[in-house]
Structure 1
Amino acid sequence: MTIDGPGAGRRVVMLVDNGVEGDSRVQKTALSAAGAGWDVVLLGCSPSGEVEHRRLGHADVRLLPMGGPAAGTGGLRARLLARGGPLLRAARWARRPVEYAQVWFWRAVEGDRAWRRLEPGLWNYERAFGAVIDELAPDLIHAHDFRMLGVGARAVARARADGRTVKLVWDAHEFLPGARPRRDNARWLPAHLAYEREYVPYADAVVTVSPALAELLQREHHLAELPAVVLNAPAVTTPPPDSSAAPDLRRLCGLDDATPLLVYSGSATAQRGLDTVVAALPRLAGVHLALVVGDAGTPYLRELLTTAARLGVADRVHPVPYVPHWQVPALLASADAGLIPLHHWPNHEIALITKFFEYSHARLPIVVSDVRTMAATVRATGQGEVFRARDADDLVRAVRAVLADPGRYRAVYEGPDSPLPSWTWESQAQLLDALYHRLLAGRPTKETTPR
């Protein structure tokens, strides 16, 4: 289906290193671009190992099987750790000197090309995506996050060698030097840093998620211009046409309207600080906690629930499954406060994360740890309270303050000075649309080629 509009007939291929489901930024980007008239094909990774086709609004979504030697190793590693964890961990530490030597040697020999030796599994993304991108012959490639940067850059280089001009937008979701390695070895971070450095020069434009991250990226990669900031704000006026109403959070937790309810929405990992919240619950009499998480069966969440049982508060902790991204603010709205208890980590300090804006559009007071950017925003707006990260006593103080006078914090969202109108995906999507047009200015539109 082709839509008449400013971008009609111009193909945008978006790349992401996940299965699309659950990645609200990627979904919103594809939905809004396709809605604006761009011919959008979103390529992601198939969880089933087979090619999958689906529609996302007017966008065409294709999930591609990864294959390769690195595919499927995560589950095996988890099973091995479960069976022989202590022994494997001792072996892992014994390998560290060898891994550091590998990093030093290949960086000395290959420079930024060293990732080919240190993390060869990155080639699996090229094998899965490369030929499909070439066949689609895009006018513009929108590469989400660092793994897709190289895939997009190589596709651009091949197109130019064939006499076609393709523009590349790199959407940097995080500051890689400050990221927690996703594999427990000494090679992962230096390999991916080298990979990112090699391919950044191919990007015609860089966009990212916060002003602080934009400044870091410009300094780290010596970018000629400051990356455009496209906030991870929720879509509030344009849900998909087949969307349904959000469930009621209190009903899911089995609670009445009078019961104090805190909510955390997002990934459940140790650095997100949920252990601090559980530790605070015994001192918050009658207060319940809803955990809107993707998988209630993860080891970390099971450990949290075990701790809650030991502290005598298990009946006040309620895991709740994810809902589609357009339903999240409505789901959260019946809570009394939204929690962001992050630990101090470089990427946490510079982020305005998705849940911050989702809580805001749910009109919730926000209780956030003293990570720099979000704490400063909350203090400036008055929409919540800040507590010391990992300090359960200070979290208790902040929660009590919010529950004692919720109207004071909710008032920030009303009236002419409300920050909410600019904290919408609709306003952010206009920035992306303008960027696409700037990059493709002077390029004639064309008939959409069959897919």
Structure 2
Amino acid sequence: MTHSDHSPRIVMLVGNFVDGDSRVQKEARYAAAAGWDTYLVGRSPTGKREQYALGEATVVRAAETMTATRYRASHPHRRGLRGLIAYRSLEQTRTRHQRQRLRQRDLVTDRLLLARRLASGLRPAEALRARVALAVRVLGVRLRGHWVAARKRAFDRNYAAAAQGPSNAWERALVRRGGDVAAWAVQPRLADFEDSFGRVADELEPDVIHANDAEMLGVAVRAAVRARRTGRRVAVVYDSHEYTAGDIRPEDVTWAPVISAQEAKYIPLADGVVTAVDNFADKLVEHHGLAVRPSVVRNMPEASTFTVPGGRGPGVRGRLGLGPEATLLVYPGSVTPIRGLDTAVRALPQLPQAHLALLVGSRSGYVAELTALAGELRVAGQFHVLDYVPVEELTDFIASATIGVDTLRRIPTQELTITTKYWSYIGARLPVVVSDVKAAGELTRRLGNGEVFEVGDVDGFARAVRTVAADRARYAAVYTDRMLAQHSWEGQVPELLDLYERVSGLRPVPRRFASAAVPTMPPPRASSPESANVAAPDAAVPGTP
């Protein structure tokens, strides 16, 4: 098959910085190895365009203006009666406050000028007028100062309130009614993503656009529509990483309804749908009436990252300087209140031989709150925060721990998901202690690789840890080579590659992994996809949910 003398091209869009997202990195590397001319487009931490090689794939971190997001942040909506006098923007607040400081400082100069005029021998009447004029000016500056201060305080309250709840009741009502205008108002990043990612998608002229998460789905569909107007057919694959309708975010209550509405609007225009969890696939069929059940590609580790019991090196235990007698609990990944890690910290006083190590990207936010909690409970010496390690090193690094923990709270999306870290625990041959959310609890009971405790039950968590630590070898015995092979990324990726071929009608020529220099941005090209017979997708991998 020929395709304008080029391999068929796929552009993957993801709304993060790419680093640390093992799923999209693996998708890009394996698509490139399968012969696709692959570009993984993510956000740029510098705001400027960046480009580098990832195996045979190319990562493009798009330049972002973040115009809408910054505008929204600096123009919080007004709240309450005090909001009526608040300045309308952060810039206006700062400008007016700056001018007031200049007025107050300038009064010193005015007083000095008046003193010199008086010393020069002004007539009594002129001196009186000068003193009255200065007194009026001083009074005016003081009154204006009170007014500026009142408006600034009102704005500051609005600004602080917006950080806790970015939307107001009216905006939430508009969001519930649907419509992109309201969505873009309360989630301005969607507009910014369209500007930055949509531009790169147009420039690259792909044959397939792979949209990771619903926030990229609209960007992908609109890019495909623009391409079709120029005579190019572009297939859209939607990769649902989360159950959007159940993604509860207390700090931003409009997120779930907006993203769910975006998904509902654009998913009918996707040529193929893939998700990371079987339960998510079922929910997508239920919510959107999909005629074809989404493909399921679980975010399991690559077989090359699997390790021997205990790991090949000192790993996390060696990093912390702990001996073999210590019960080491490990948790790599996102740390937010709904992840439930406070349960593990609160259990540490009951587990004097146990240590809890978090592998995180930042020590601020909720991680700092957990650190403070450990201090209050006098278990600071048992609580450790470490930096992320590269994904290809993760399983071996955590293998020296005793137990992998997953303490999810009970919200809809977490009831249905198996987290990436759970698959990493399997690759590291770690027994687990998990909360009894539906999917993780059922899988753990079926595999027999750990114990399950009731969500939020501190005593139950401590009991589960003691039970596993006392008979760790029995729980670890389920990790046979055959079982690990069934839980590898290599067993998942054929489903994704088949989907690409099925929706595009293109079959690239596979190539081996090789390092390559970063390619330059290709010139525009025409494409004329040809049909190809594609084998049926693989059946679900045994031993997985």
Tell me the TM-score range normalised by the shorter chain: 0.7 to 0.9
Tell me whether 1:130 sits opposite 2:130 in the alignment: no
Deviation string, structure 1 residues 47-74 (Cα, Å, up to 9, x no partner): 1011111111111111012213344589
- How do residues 428-439 of structure 1 correspond to structure 2 at under 5 angstroms? 428-439=492-503
Which amino acid in the other structure matches residue 494 of structure 2?
A: Q
Q: How does 1:186-201 map to 2 (within 5 A)?
A: 186-201=253-268
Structure 1 residue 180, shift from structure 2 partner? 2.3
Partner of 1:408: 474
Q: In structure 2, how many angstroms separate the alpha carbons of the residues matched to 1:231 and 1:392?
A: 30
CA apart distance, 1:273 = 1.1
Letter in 2 for 1:176: T
Secondary structure of 2:64 counterpart: coil
Question: Which runs of 5 or more residues in structure 2 are unaligned?
Answer: 76-89, 91-152, 307-311, 510-518, 524-545
Distance 1:52 1:271 in 2: 33
Structure 2 residue identity aligned to 1:53 = Q
- What amino acid sits opposite 1:59 in the alignment? A
Q: Tell me which residue corresponds to 1:51.
A: 49
| Alpha-carbon shift at residue 171 of structure 1 (Å) | 0.3
Deviation, 1:113, is: 6.2
Question: Where does residue 99 of structure 1 map in the other structure?
Answer: 168
State the 1:301 CA deviation.
1.3
Instruction: Give, in whole Å, the separation in 1 of the partners of 2:459 and 2:371.
Output: 20
For residue 412 of structure 1, give the secondary structure of its aligned residue in structure 2. coil
Matched, 1:450 2:522: yes
- The alignment covers a number of residue pairs equal to 429
Amino acid at match of 2:498: A
Aligned to 1:226: 293
Q: Pairwise mapping of residues 197-276 of structure 1 onto structure 2 (< 5 A)?
A: 197-237=264-304, 248-276=315-343
Letter in structure 2 aligned against 1:168: V
Q: What is the CA distance between 1:181 and its match in structure 2?
A: 3.2
Residue 371 of structure 1 aligns with which residue? 437
Does structure 2 conserve the Cα–Cα contact (< 8 Å) formed by 1:367 and 1:387?
A: yes
Change in CA separation of 1:40 and 1:316 when aligned onto 2, cut-off 3 Å: same
Distance 1:219 1:329 in 2: 35
Q: Which runs of 5+ in 1 are unaligned?
A: 240-244
1:85, distance to aligned residue in structure 2 (A): 13
2:67 is paired with a residue whose SS is: coil
- CA distance in 1 between partners of 2:66 and 2:187 (Å): 13
Q: Which residue is equivalent to 1:22? A: 20
Of all paired residues, the percent bearing the same amino acid is 43
User: Structure 2: which amino acid aligns with 1:346?
Assistant: P
Taking only aligned residues, the RMSD between alpha carbons, in angstroms, comes to 3.1
Letter in structure 2 aligned against 1:392: V
Helix, strand or coil at the partner of 1:413: coil
Deviation at 1:123, TM superposition (A): 1.4
Aligned to 1:440: 504
Q: Which amino acid aligns with 2:470?
A: A
Aligned ranges for residues 74-89 of structure 1 at < 5 Å?
A: 87=157
| Residue in structure 2 matched with residue 151 of structure 1 by the alignment | 219
| 1:182 shift after superposition | 7.8
Cα contact 1:112–1:198 (8 A) shared by 2: no
What is the rounded CA distance, in whole Å, between the counterparts of 1:259 and 1:139 in structure 2?
A: 53
- Correspondence for 1:294: 361
Residue number in structure 2 paired with 1:162: 230
Q: What TM-score does the superposition give when structure 2 sets the normalisation length?
A: 0.73
| Separation in 1, partners of 2:158, 2:491 | 49
Q: Is the 8 A contact 1:337 1:366 kept in 2?
A: yes
Q: Give the secondary-structure state (helix, strand or coil) at the position aligned to 2:53.
A: strand
**Distance in 1, Cα, partners of 2:60 & 2:42:** 6
3-state DSSP of counterpart to 2:386? strand
Rate the CA distance shift 1:382–1:443 in 2: closer, same or farther, 3 A.
closer
Distance 1:415 1:34, change over 3 A: closer
Change (3 A) 1:52 1:263: same
Mark the CA change 1:54 to 1:335 in structure 2 (over 3 Å): closer, same or farther: same
In structure 2, the partner of 1:242 is none
Structure 2 CA distance for partners of 1:18 and 1:76, relative to 1, 3 Å: farther
- Whether contact under 8 Å (1:8, 1:37) holds in the other structure is no
Partner of 1:333: 399
Change (3 A) 1:209 1:84: farther
Please tell me whether Structure 1 or Structure 2 has the larger radius of gyration of its CA atoms.
2
Counterpart position of 1:60: 58
- TM superposition score normalised by structure 1: 0.87
Aligned equivalents of 1:94 and 1:262: distance in 2?
32
Rate the CA distance shift 1:207–1:182 in 2: closer, same or farther, 3 A.
farther
C-alpha change, 1:93 and 1:33, in structure 2 (3 Å) is closer
Aligned pair in 2 of structure 1 residues 65, 396: CA closer, same or farther (>3 Å)?
same
Q: Does 1:393 align with 2:459?
A: yes
1:107–1:279 CA distance, 2 compared to 1 (3 A): closer
Q: Compared with structure 1, are the counterparts of its residues 106 and 395 closer, same or farther at alpha carbon in structure 2 (3 Å cutoff)?
A: closer
Q: 1:126 to 1:246 in 2, by over 3 A?
A: farther
2:505 match: secondary structure: coil
Query: Secondary structure in 2 aligned to 1:264?
Result: strand
- Is this contact kept in 1: 2:30–2:493, CA < 8 A? yes
